[in-house]
Structure 1
Amino acid sequence: YSISEAAHGAKDLAALYQQIHLTIAQLLPVDDFIVAIRSAASGELSYPYQALALDSTGLPAEPAASLCFSVLHGAQPLRFNADSMPALALPLGDGDTHAWWLGVPLSSSEGVIGVLLLKSTAAPYTEKDQELLQFVSVQVVTAIERKQLYARLHRMAQYDELTGLPNRACFRDRLDTALARVRRNGGRVALLYVDLDRFKQVNDTYGHSGGDQLLRAVADRLTHCVRDTDTVARLGGDEFVVLLESIAEAEDARRVVDKIRAAFEEPMQIAEHSLDIGLSIGTALYPEDGDAEAQLLKQADDRMYLMKARGGQPQDCD
């Protein structure tokens, strides 16, 4: 019941793991506690929560890491004591000569997603303890999967699936925050509205996979042209917007525009072809071009379309 409450009340997975630790510590002897999660992509273990001695690499001290792998690959609960460690060819850590471990796999419908590992120096774990931790692990898996789902849904609501950039909703939130900050503290904000020239031609010539590849490449180049404190977002289609915060002069925005144009002078490798990709960029400044989100976006959008009217199209450089 406590873990179920935590699954609904914890703000994130880190808080959830901590509550799981506190709950299990009320049921079983626990000196050290670790949650290991297997990456679905690589199969490797990560350790998002651990309450035990760490080595210089930041990974769990031996033998904890080795025991986690043993439980993971065996997909079965395991109990260990110090005497059994040499037989398992596992190294003993400092202070482990009188210690006991209990590990259970975190099993879901998709397979084993991780491991819960406990260490006790007070008393050995019993079969009853193992059964209890197995029962608790089912609740833990449900809670973890629910939190992971919420995290994925939140990301989907805030970020563009194709490029990984903030989407329109996330961008508007950041713009509102940036405008509130400069109204309070002074300064300038710049918006760059970026549109690819003749993107439809790329789609028609190289297919939608080629178009998707181009959008991802454009997102990567734009991101490398700005500071970490700035925002590059995809509004939809081939339209991107760059939010430059805390700039001192209008010239700062022009320098970023020049940097973006210089970056896109280098041809892009799309669908095994080298393409010159043209950009149309419209700029709006706060407070010169307006003091509201809608005004700034419209001004930047209008100026972008003026640039786009001059034409330009990708050229095959092969």
Structure 2
Amino acid sequence: MSARYRHSSAGSEGSPPAAADTDRQYQDLSQVGMSLFFQEMEGNIMYEPDSLAKNPAIEEFCEGFIANCLPPSSYHLPILVVDDEPRLRDTVNEILSLAGYQVECAATGREALTLLAEHDFSLVLLDLNLPDISGQKILDEIVSQDIDTNVIIYSGESTFEQATRALRNGAKDFLAKGCAPEVLLETVARTLDNWRRQKHYLRVQKHIQCSEVLHRYLINHSPDLIFMLDDQGRLIFVNERAKHYFGLDIQELMGAPFFDFIFEEDQPGAALFLQKLKKGEHAESPVELRLRTPSGTVPRDVEVWALPVELPDPKPIMGIYGIIRDISERKQAETLRNYHLNHDQLTKLPNRNLFHDRLQVALRQARRLDQKLAVMYLDLDRFKLINDSYGHPVGDELLQNVASRVKSCLRDCDTLARISGDEFNLLLPHIKHVRDARTIWYKIQSLFDEPFQVQGHEIRVSFSAGCAVYPDHGETMQLLLRHADSAMYQVKERGRNGFYCYLPEMDSSPCYHMEIENGIHRALANDELRLYYQPQIDLQSGRVRSLEALIRWAHPRRGFLLPAEFMPVVEQSRLVCRLGTWVIRQICRDALEFKKRGYEDLRIAMNVSPQQLGMEGFTQGLFDTIREHRLDSSFLEIEITENSLIQDMNTSMQALTRLAEAGVTIAVDDFGKGYSSLSYLHTLPLHTVKIDRSFVTNLSESSTDTTIIDAILSIARGLRLNFIAEGVETQFQNDYLLNAGCRTAQGYLYAPPLPLDDALAYVRSSRAQAFSANSCRR
């Protein structure tokens, strides 16, 4: 029988077997293995384990397999075989021993765990079905105890579920009992070789990570400049990246003052940054600087992160360690983005945003220096006709040429901006008289005597221009723009191609009225209206007691308009009813937001015009809107001016009485400014009087005349009316009103009118502070 498995080589003795012979050897041994591992031929065992070691075929196969297939790194490694079947266990022991492994065997799970606790094994061949402890539990124990070994499941249960579970629990492979010996040896060898490679890789990694070579490599190949300064601010270390930044060798940089490389304008900021670091303070954010470049032309934008280098107690500051990152591309991108945000893409002129910024700056400077400035509204006449006749490409090129021609006659300090399609704004600072603005207009007009040549077309254009001068025609940006716009429309009404300076009577002109009316129609359709809320403060606690709703118009051309700039026109038209309906609906929606946050007791005051109050169905419509939003009428306060009450006392009485009966509180606004006939205070269902801001404004430390305020307070107390002081802007005014017995006030000292989200935050903050103060007093 042994002759059947003996390998005969055609080569010399001891030489490796030929490939064909090796294949036949595997086949033969496979048959031997099958005979050894399974009882066949009616239960007869063809080979007993004790005869296995003497079997020449087995010995010769193992020698050949080792010589040709097993890596030398796998020799002599300890392996634990765990199997309760003696014959199979001994057979595997013999095969692995012949292959050069040091083999230990265990017949039970407990014996295996004992051996694993006492010895180190590179690999465990584990049977899943053991008499005392299952192989899965042994595998779990190996994982939980973090035993450094590899597990190959060697089991008669070869289902997919068993294999999957074992592999998920940490086994490296799964072999079915009865597999050919070469499969067993190949799997063991491959597993051990992978394990040794991984071990070797981890050792190498640990060594590299701790090596100075790696650190230096990482530092010198960093895309950032890494540096250290001594306590005098001189460079004592830089990485290789410094050559790219400074254009000098590292040796030339050693000992050089860091400030020599910083752009002069940025040196003060850098000095402050480094001074804090020398004191041991850690910077929470980087500082942005500009470094001199080797060429000395355009500075390099960088971001510097740095921290002090400290030793243990007593922690002297040895120097500064930092990283410099090139942010030139980011800065260029930011510059480009900011340019696009603030310039018209077609003409490259400043757009509305930049023009408004420059106008605000110019206004502050004019106030400080007591100077004048002018704002012009320029509208290109019949530009739509040009676009329709020649096409938009011609129109675009014409606009570019127009912008270039106007700029050519302006001063460096002037700003020409394109606001919309054919509209331009012009800022003229440092003028001495209105005639200076007119002179500049004549220069612009003279330039347009010559026609434009655009894509083979000869085109003549003209401007309609309106002008407003600070401070003669307004002291705010909104007023100046509005008045310049009004003057420009006067030119349009009178035939175009001209210049008008603003006059007060223009505000009441039919042209202006029509523009406002049309604008409000558009504003209601395009959601251009906003409600702001100004807190009314309890002077004793600092808590917000109520809010006054104030309307704003986000005009597409004139910016943010206050009520005084459009409400007088609205109140003279039927638009006041539509606008009032919008206001009450928006107040109800916002009241729900306050209610959701737990501010059910917060009252909101709404200004009502006499036209609304006298309108048929006003009170019923208001009640319907409140019910629609499932609110209680008591949240609302109606404010009506003293003059409005006097105009039609009977109508006012009926409407206000019905409102008061439903729980709506009534306040008289601007009290003391109008007729002040005290009889209506008895007859009307009033709850609150609001003293006109002019009386509060006159309160100052230098003024001792407080007679009117004291008298109004006495009247309010006598009639048991609430009292609110408007326009409080100084602490002195606050203190006087508090001492005089006034309970509630509003004004910029506490808060300006706020959008909804900011108003919610203010209410939350004020109530939290009031609660904290009350807690402290307790």
Is the 2:242–2:248 Cα contact (8 Å) retained in structure 1? no
Q: Does 1:241 align with 2:462?
A: no
Offset, 1:28 = 4.7
Contact 1:191 1:296 in 2 (8 A): yes
Shift of the 51–24 alpha-carbon distance from structure 1 to 2, 3 Å rule, reads: closer
> After superposition, what is the alpha-carbon deviation per residue over 1:235-293, rounded to whole angstroms, capped at 9, x for unaligned?
11111011000111111111001111111111111231111101100011001100000
Residue in 2 aligned with 1:63? none
Describe the shift of the 1:226–1:30 C-alpha distance in structure 2 as closer, same or farther (beyond 3 A): farther
2:450 to 256, 261, 266: 266
User: How many angstroms apart in 1 are the aligned matches of 2:426 and 2:369?
Assistant: 21
In the TM superposition, 1:64-103 aligns within 5 A as none
Aligned pair in 2 of structure 1 residues 181, 205: CA closer, same or farther (>3 Å)? same
Taking the aligned partners of 1:25 and 1:258, their CA distance within structure 2 comes to 54
Of 424, 440, 449 in structure 2, the residue corresponding to residue 256 of structure 1 is 440
* 1:26-51 deviation line (CA, Å, top 9, x unaligned): 9953869xxxxxxxxxxxxxxx9643
User: In the alignment, which residue of structure 2 is the partner of 1:93?
Assistant: none
Contact preservation (8 Å) 1:191, 1:243: yes
Pairs within 5 Å for 1:156-171: 156-171=340-355
Output the amino acid matched with 1:199.
F
The verdict on how the C-alpha distance between 1:161 and 1:169 changes in structure 2, with shifts beyond 3 A counting, is same
Q: Give the corresponding residue for 1:44.
A: none
Q: Which residues of structure 1 form unaligned runs of 5+?
A: 6-19, 33-47, 60-138, 314-318
User: Residue 154 of structure 1 corresponds to which residue in structure 2?
Assistant: 338
Aligned residues: percent identity? 40
Establish whether residue 51 from structure 1 lines up as the match of residue 282 from structure 2: no
Q: Show CA shifts across 1:37-93 (max 9, x none).
A: xxxxxxxxxxx96435x8xxx89xxxxxxxxxxxxxxxxxxxxxxxxxxxxxxxxxx
Letter in 2 for 1:239: E
2:250 maps to which of 19, 22, 29: 29
Supply the distance in 2 between the matched residues of 1:192 and 1:179 (Cα, whole angstroms): 15
User: Residue 414 of structure 2: which of 212, 230, 238 is its match?
Assistant: 230
TM-score, with normalisation over the residues of structure 1? 0.56
Distance 2:345 2:242 in 1: 34
> 3-state DSSP class of the match of 1:262?
helix
Task: Tell me, in whole angstroms, the C-alpha distance in 2 between the residues paired with 1:265 and 1:298.
Answer: 29
Decide whether the 8 Å contact of 1:203 with 1:211 is kept in 2.
yes
State the Cα deviation string for residues 82-141 of structure 1 (Å, max 9, x = none).
xxxxxxxxxxxxxxxxxxxxxxxxxxxxxxxxxxxxxxxxxxxxxxxxxxxxxxxxx86x
Post-superposition CA distance 1:129-159 (Å, at most 9, x none): xxxxxxxxxx86xx44322221110101111
Question: Are residues 162 and 288 of structure 1, via their aligned partners in 2, closer, same or farther at CA, if it must alter by over 3 Å?
Answer: same
| Rounded Cα–Cα distance in structure 1 between residues aligned with 2:449 and 2:480 | 27
- 1:171 is displaced (CA, Å) by 0.4
Matched position secondary structure for 2:250: coil
1:292 aligns with 2:476: yes
Q: Distance in 2 between matches of 1:273 and 1:237?
A: 20
Q: Which residue of 2 aligns with 1:16?
A: none
Compared with structure 1, are the counterparts of its residues 247 and 232 closer, same or farther at alpha carbon in structure 2 (3 Å cutoff)?
same
Partner of 1:51: helix, strand, or coil? coil
Native 8 Å contact 1:166 1:232 kept in 2: yes
Structure 2 SS opposite 1:146 = helix
Q: How does 1:84-163 map to 2 (within 5 A)?
A: 143-163=327-347
What does residue 386 of structure 2 align with?
202
Note if contact 1:283-1:299 (Cα within 8 Å) is conserved in structure 2. Answer: yes
Q: Provide closer, same or farther for how the CA distance between residues 30 and 4 of structure 1 changes in structure 2, counting only shifts above 3 A.
A: closer
* Corresponding residue SS for 1:229: coil
Residue number in structure 2 paired with 1:184: 368
Q: CA deviation at 1:178?
A: 0.4
> How many residues of Structure 1 are paired with residues of Structure 2 in the alignment?
199
**Partners of 2:377 and 2:423 within 8 A in 1:** yes
Partner amino acid, structure 2, of 1:258: Y
- What SS class does the counterpart of residue 391 from structure 2 fall into? helix
- Which one has a bigger Cα radius of gyration? 2
Greater share of residues in strand:
1
Residues 25/222 of structure 1: CA separation in 2 closer, same or farther (3 Å cut): closer
Indicate conservation of the 8 Å contact 2:377/2:465, yes or no: yes
Corresponding residue number in structure 2 for 1:301: 485
How far residue 295 of structure 1 moved from its aligned partner, in angstroms, is 0.4
Distance 1:214 1:242 in 2: 19
Amino acid at match of 1:145: E
Question: What amino acid is aligned across from residue 479 of structure 2 in structure 1?
Answer: Q
Contact 2:381 2:462 in 1 (8 A): yes
- Residues 1:312 and 1:186: Cα distance change in structure 2 (over 3 Å): closer
Q: Distance in 2 between matches of 1:3 and 1:227?
A: 45
Note closer, same or farther for the CA distance 1:49–1:288 as it changes in structure 2 (3 Å cut).
same
Q: Cα–Cα, structure 1 residues 312 and 300, in superposed 2: closer, same or farther, change >3 Å?
A: closer
The Cα of 1:310 is off from its aligned counterpart by 3.2
TM-score by length of 2: 0.24
Can you give the 5+ residue segments of structure 2 that lack an aligned partner in the other structure?
1-221, 227-240, 254-290, 299-324, 498-778
CA distance change for structure 1 residues 201 and 149 in 2, over 3 Å: closer, same or farther? same
Partners of 1:30 and 1:215 in 2: CA distance: 58
Q: Which runs of 4+ in 1 moved over 3 A?
A: 1-5, 20-32, 310-313
CA contact (8 A) 2:243 2:249 kept: no
* Alpha-carbon offset, residue 208 of structure 1: 0.9
Paired with 1:301 and 1:308, the residues of 2 have a C-alpha distance of: 11
Higher relative contact order (CA 8 A, sep 6+): 1
